[in-house]
Amino acid sequence: MAKTKPAYSRTFTGRAVGGALTFLLLLSATACAGSEDAPQTSLDPAGEFARAPDVLWNITLAIAVVVFVLVEGALVFALIRFRHKEGRKAAQFHGNTKVEVVLTVVPALILAGLAIPTVGTIFDLQGDPPEDVMRVEVIAHQFWWEFNYSEQGVTTANELHIPAGQEVVLELQGAASDAVAGTAEVVHSFWIPRLSGAQDIVPGHTSFLRISADEPGRFVGQCKEFCGLSHANMRVVAFSHTQEDFDAWVEEQNAPAVENLSGDAAAGQELFNETFDVRSTVVEEGADAYQCASCHAVQPGLDAQPRTGPNLTHFASRSTFAGATFENNADNVAAWLRDPHGVRPGSKMPALDLSEDQISDLVAYLQSLE
C-alpha cells in the first residue's frame, strides 16, 4: 500500500513554496526603479567624488558575493552529505586547530586586502583641493539650506548651482540659534548621493565636502540626519551647468529682483513690509506680531539682511521652495502662506491671519521675483 504524506506536511510544504515565491517577488521588485524614478540612488554616480565610493562598493560586493557562495555552498553540501540516515549517529568533537587557523587567517587576509582600497579612497576624498577651486558656504537650518557664494556675491536657498566638470568645495556649517523662533539648531547631514557621500553638520563647527558633476543635470538630495518633525522635508536640489550657463545664472542672481511693479504684485510688495498679527506661531514668547521683511531679504548680495529665513531674491526663478519640498507654483505658495504648519510640520514660519486677498497679493509679488 502506497504511503501518503501527512496533511500537516503538505500544508507546510505549500506555505514554504508560497513564502519563497513571495520573497522572490519582493526581491525582484526592489530593483524595478531606475535612476529617474529613484533620483537619490547612490548606485548611479554622476561625479568623481561619488564614483570613488561606488568603485569601493563594487569591490567589496564582489568579495562578499564570493564568500557568500563559498560559505552557503559548504553549508548546503554538509546538509545533503551528512543528512540523517537510518543507523547513522551524530558524532561530536571539540577543537580542530587546522580549521581554527583557516577560519582566522582567511578572514584576516580578506579584511587586509579590503583595507588597501578603502584607505586609499578615504585619503583621495579628504585630500587638499586645488587652491583655485570654487567654494560655497552651506548653512543648515531647520528645515532648509542656505547657500552663499562669496566670490560671486550670491545668496540663495535650497537649490545649489555649480559648473559641470569642476570640483566644488562646500563649507558646511550649522546655523546659530534662531532668535526669532527661540530654538537652538541641531545636527544635520548634507547628502546628494549622485554627487558625493554624506557629511554631518554640527552647529559651531565647519566641515568640508568635495563634490563635482560630470555633465549638466539635476540632482536630488536631502538631510540624512534626523533633525526634527520636518526632517523628511529638508531636501536639496543641485543643478550643474556649462560654464557659460553658470556665469549667466550668477549674472541673473546679481541683478535687481523686481522693478516697476503694478497691480496685485505691487500690493503684495507693500504687504511684505507690513506687520501682521500672529495666529499660531513658533516665535519667541511674548511676540504677537510678525513682518515678512523681518525674516526674509529681497535684495542681492551676501550683505542681505536678515538671514533668519531664506533670502527671497529671485524666488520665482527657483523650481522649488520650503526646503525643496514643494514645486514653486502659485497654488503651493498660497497653501504655504495660508497654513505653513499644516503643510509642513515643525516649520518655523508663523501662521498669520491673512485674508484670501492678501494671500493672492503676496503670491503675485513672490511670483514676480525673477
* Domain boundaries of the chain, sorted by first residue: 42-65+99-127, 134-243, 263-366
Collect all residues with Cβ–Cβ distance below 8 Å to 228 and sequence separation of at least 6. Answer: 142, 143, 186, 346
With contact defined as beta carbons under 8 Å apart, do 138 and 171 qualify? yes
d(CA 347, CA 142): 8
Task: Could you please state the CATH topology (level 3) that the domain comprising 263-366 is classified under.
Answer: Immunoglobulin-like (2.60.40)
Q: Which amino acid is at 109?
A: L
With contact defined as beta carbons under 8 Å apart, do 352 and 290 qualify? yes
Along the 370 residues of the chain, how does pLDDT read in single tens digits?
555 555 545 565 667 677 778 877 776 666 555 545 557 888 899 999 999 999 999 999 999 999 999 999 999 998 888 887 887 777 777 788 888 999 899 999 999 999 999 998 888 888 778 888 999 999 999 899 999 999 998 999 999 999 999 999 999 998 876 544 445 678 999 999 999 999 999 988 899 999 999 999 999 999 999 998 899 999 999 999 999 999 999 999 998 877 678 899 899 888 888 877 665 444 444 455 677 887 888 875 545 555 678 889 899 999 999 999 999 999 999 999 999 988 888 888 888 878 899 999 999 999 999 8
Task: Identify each DSSP E strand in 164-205 by its residue range.
Answer: 168-174, 188-191, 199-201
Task: Please report, in angstroms and rounded to a whole number, the separation of the first and last CA atoms in the chain.
Answer: 88
List beta partners, residue 162. 240
Q: What is the pLDDT of residue 335?
A: 93
With contact defined as beta carbons under 8 Å apart, do 344 and 230 qualify? yes
With contact defined as beta carbons under 8 Å apart, do 166 and 215 qualify? no
CA 262 to chain centre: 39
Supply the pTM of this predicted model. Answer: 0.79
CA angle (353 as vertex; 350, 356 as ends), nearest 5:
115
Q: What is the pLDDT of residue 83?
A: 82
The Cα-based distances of 161 to 148, 170, 237 in angstroms read 11, 12, 9
d(CA 52, CA 296): 39
Element housing 26 (H / E)? helix 7-29
Q: Tell me which DSSP letter residue 212 carries.
A: -
d(CA 206, CA 137): 10
With contact defined as beta carbons under 8 Å apart, do 331 and 360 qualify? no
How far is it between the farthest Cα atoms of the chain? 100
Q: Which of 58, 32, 173, 36 is nearest to 114 (CA)?
A: 58
The reply to whether 263-366 shares the fold of 134-243 is: yes
Q: Which of 228, 133, 156, 234 is nearest to 190 (CA)?
A: 234
CATH superfamily of 134-243: Cupredoxins -  blue copper proteins (2.60.40.420)
d(CA 322, CA 235): 9
With contact defined as beta carbons under 8 Å apart, do 162 and 240 qualify? yes
Q: Which of 265, 252, 243 is nearest to 300 (CA)?
A: 252
